[in-house]
Structure 1
Amino acid sequence: MRRLAFLLTFGLGGAAILISLGIWQVQRLAWKEGVIANIEARIADAPVPLPATPDAATDSYLPVTVTGSLGAPYLRVLVSKKQVGAGYRIIRPMLRAEGDILIDMGFVSVADADGLTFEEGPSLTVTGNLQWPQETDSYTPAPDLAENIWFARDVPAMAAALDTEPVLVVRRDAPQSGGPVTPMPVDTAAIPNDHLQYAITWFSLSAIWLAMTAIFLRRKPGTNKS
């Protein structure tokens, strides 16, 4: 009886813990889906004028319109685009009386990037979304300044390189000239949402735990595998 009580307590208690972890992940999944839905709704909102002092905590994904002249210097950020392959995000400065900012103009393939040049153009209006991407970590290589290749969008560093405010607008619509650059708008694809896989893992482990408990319960005391 002691053995039976121990196995039942250990088996059912462990399974209960694993099941509760699975339920928690299901709850986290619903929460994360709500967060993503809210971000997607914000991305698609009607654009507003750029705030005087944009803030990453409150203005991320905010749709805005900005008007100014695009400067000639630009940065190339190495990326990969589905069904296209490797290429670059083109980051240009927008010159404004209120303060210069960064514009992520979009994507250009590696082949089309060869010999790409820009000139300072006339005033235009860009519609896009504010973003402070978190793409750098301790493993991110330093930019290759000689080849003008960056390996992540580091807003403060890019702003320093182009002498602008640390504000990035990711273009979603605007006139484009001077090269085959296509918009690569903000979306939620990069936001991780692995809670369903975690829930399946915990529920699977609980099923295995219960199965093993049943096997031990069916074995007679003193039974030797050999």
Structure 2
Amino acid sequence: MRRILFLLIFGFAGLVILLWLGLWQMQRLAWKQDVLSEIESRISADPVDLPNLASVERDKYLPVTVTGEMVPGEIHVLVSVKQVGAGYRIIQSFNTDERTILVDRGFVPVTAKEVDRQNGVMKITGNLHWPDEVDGYTPGPDIDANIWFARDVPTLAAALGADPVMLIARSGTDPGITPLPVSATGIPNDHLQYAITWFGLALVWAAMTGYFLWRSRAPSESEAQ
């Protein structure tokens, strides 16, 4: 009886923990879906003027429209696009009447890295963004080849003499550049997979607990004789 009682307590405790983890992930899933919905609504809102003092906390994803001059001189950030392959994001400085900001104009294939592009006066609509793409494994830029590996806004701003504010173009700024507008699709949301994993483990745990209880209650061969 002690062995059966131990199995019952141990099995029930493990099942409760696994089910709680699955339910917790479902709660996280609902929370993440609300966050993503809020981000999508913010991204697709009507554009406004560029704030005088844009900040990461308040103005991330804010849609804005700016008019000014695209300044010659590019930074090429290595990126890969699905079903297209490797290429570069074209980052340039953009002079408005009040300030100079960074503009992510979009994607060009590797073969178009050195192609001349349209500059000068233009009107751009997009979203403010401060991408978090740098970690301990991100290599430093190859300055000589003008190949960068992350959009680190302060570093790019220092290199191009602009304020640390980046506008991701939503509309085209050159026929040869494909805009890569801000989207919530790249934000990971794996909570459903995690929940399924925990519920699956709970099912296996319950089955194994039942099996061991059955084995414990089944008569041994010596008892059967």
TM bracket (short chain): over 0.9
Q: Is 1:188–2:184 an aligned residue pair?
A: yes
Q: Cα 1:170–1:110, aligned 2, differ >3 Å: closer, same or farther? A: same
Kindly report the root-mean-square deviation, in angstroms, between the aligned alpha carbons of the 2 structures: 1.6
- Residue 203 of structure 1: which of 178, 183, 199 is its match? 199
Q: Is the 8 A contact 1:40 1:188 kept in 2?
A: yes
Q: Could you state the TM-score of these two structures normalised by the residue count of structure 2?
A: 0.93
TM-aligned CA deviation for residue 174 of structure 1: 4.4
One-letter code aligned to 2:93:
P
Deviations 1:20-65 (A, max 9, x none): 1000000100110110011011111000001111110111111001
> Is 2:118–2:173's contact at 8 Å kept on the other side of the alignment?
no
Counterpart amino acid of residue 218 in structure 1: W
Match of 1:106? 106
Question: What amino acid is aligned across from residue 203 of structure 2 in structure 1?
Answer: A
Looking at structure 2, the residues matched to 120 and 83 of structure 1 have their Cα atoms a distance apart, in angstroms, of: 28
**Paired residue for 2:75?**
75
Count, aligned residues: 220
- Do the aligned partners of 2:172 and 2:178 also contact (CA within 8 Å) in 1? no
Give the equivalent residue in structure 1 for 2:116. Answer: 117
C-alpha distance in 1 between matches for 2:220 and 2:86: 61
| 8 Å contact from structure 1 (residues 90, 104) kept in 2 | yes
Retained in 2: the 8 A contact 1:73–1:118?
no
Change in CA separation of 1:120 and 1:181 when aligned onto 2, cut-off 3 Å? closer
Question: Residue 215 of structure 2 is aligned with which of 198, 214, 219?
Answer: 219
Greater share of helix residues, 1 or 2? 2
CA separation of 1:105 and 1:56: change in aligned 2, threshold 3 A: same
Mark the runs of 5 or more structure 2 residues left unpaired by the alignment. none
Counterpart CA distance in 1 for 2:189 and 2:118 is: 41
- Counterpart amino acid of 2:84? V
Q: Which amino acid aligns with 1:171?
A: A
In structure 1, what residue type is equivalent to 2:45? D
Q: How does 1:116-195 map to 2 (within 5 A)?
A: 116-118=115-117, 120-121=119-120, 123-176=121-174, 180-195=176-191
Calculate percent identity across the aligned residue pairs.
53
Q: Tell me the CA shift for residue 118 of structure 1.
A: 4.2
Q: 2 CA distance for matches of 1:192 and 1:183?
A: 22
Secondary structure in 2 matching 1:38? helix
State the shift of 1:175 in Å. 4.1
Larger mean Cα displacement after TM superposition, 95-104 or 151-160: 95-104
> Equivalent residue of 1:185, what SS?
coil
Conservation of the 8 A alpha-carbon contact between 1:71 and 1:119: no
Give the corresponding residue for 1:57.
57
Kindly indicate whether the alpha-carbon contact (under 8 Å) linking 2:117 and 2:174 is maintained by their aligned counterparts in 1.
Answer: no
Whole-angstrom distance in 1 between the partners of 2:117 and 2:189: 39
Q: Distance in 2 between matches of 1:169 and 1:140?
A: 22
Shift of the alpha carbon at 1:182?
1.2
Asked if the contact 2:62/2:128 (under 8 Å) is kept, the reply is yes
